[in-house]
Amino acid sequence: MSPNANLVASIEALLAAAKGYNIDKPDHVARVNMLGQLEALHYQLEDPTEAMFRQLTNYSETSAVRTLRQMNVLEKIPREGSISSKQLAANTGTNEEVLTRLIRVLTSTGVLKALGGDVYAHTSRSLAFLDTAEITSFSVDEIAPIAYKMPEYVATHEPGSIFNPRQSPFSWGNDAEGKTFYEFLLDHPDRLKRFNTAMTTQESALPVLGMFPFTSLLKADADPSRAFIVDVAGGRGQSLLQIKQEIEAAGGDMGKGKVILQDRKAVLDAVPDEQIPGVEKMVIDFFQSQPVKNAQIYYLRRIMHNWQDAECRKILQNIAAAMAPDSRLLIGEMVVPDVPEGVDKTVYWMDLCMLIIGGKERSEREFSTLLDSAGLKLVKIWRNKLGSQTVIECHLK
């Protein structure tokens, strides 16, 4: 098929998908598939030089958003209606010319809407920057400055240094080599608070359910003295509660085995008992021996990506040593596809973030190798319909 025929076929396929799409009752999978077709079509038509300038546009857009937020401009644009640059400048005490030039960057990319005559309005995209402000703030203020200094880091460090969490680019860029990213944040409560808020926001966008069939593990003859599920480093128990609710909604009874939430003392002390009914709290350090033996399920969600292989291996070995022959370890993580697929780029920009702070997103092969080194085997990856989020099922070797 000729290049021109390929182009026409791509457009016709997109048109056919659009004709079958119900915009009043949008199907999420269909919508994302159409976006993927549109993106592929864009790549077919885009000139290499245009692609380079698009990257510069991304950088400019990010800079404009953060500067306008710092100037309190985005907040002063009414959520309904519009406002002139002159009035915005008066309301924020900023220079109208500078304000207008920054806004133009965002109207050119559809983040804000230009109505003519230097009058502007919000779009759903600009409101997203306000409503999920902490993710943008953390990524741009904490990660991006280090990302731009990565060439200097690799020029001044031995190649293997980047895999030492105490010599991460983040630690180096903050004059804190010798401390991990998390130890550094403990010394800076304001930055720790921003990080926690950003992670809570992102957490809500990543599914817990809809992949692994938790209800299938309930047994009528289960030993009540045996823990049913142990959520290792489970934070405030948000994932554990969703699992518990799904099982109980299906008529299951988790009362035949303990439901245990493990984390550091400071984390658990901040969780009122009434927020996690039926759940036992247990203080642990996952780099030490796992105190709960023979649980039916050990659950790790969004923990592995925080650490390099050496640290992950220790965490996994401690769990493996506690497992019974029929125990399962379930790992909730994104898995990097062998070949980029779809429009969801989350796993790729997240992996760069983790490279900077001392962690790692992994492919199926990398997970399999890591698990094998800890005495475990990868049984199955239960995938989400969209995106890279999965539940990785593991047994003892």
The residues annotated with a catalytic role in the active site are 305
User: 67: which residues sit within 8 A by CB, 6+ positions away?
Assistant: 102
Identify the helix (H) or strand (E) that includes residue 248.
helix 238-249
User: 247: which residues sit within 8 A by CB, 6+ positions away?
Assistant: 214, 215, 218, 254
Identify the helix (H) or strand (E) that includes residue 263.
strand 259-263
- Owner of token pair 């303990």: 258
Instruction: Specify burial of residue 205 (Cβ count, 10 A radius: 0-12, 13-18, 19+).
Output: exposed
- DSSP three-state, residue 299: strand
User: 121: which residues sit within 8 A by CB, 6+ positions away?
Assistant: 77, 78, 81, 82, 83, 112, 113, 115
CA dist 74 and 355 (Å) reads 32
Angle between helices 48-70 and 124-131 (to 10 degrees): 50
- Owner of token pair 């002063």: 76
- Owner of token pair 């050496």: 310
Strand order in the sheet with 112-114: 83-84, 119-122, 112-114
CA dist 83 and 287 (Å) reads 55
Report the b/e string of 284-301 with b at 16+ CB within 10 A.
bebeeebebeebbbbbbb
CA dist 226 and 223 (Å) reads 6
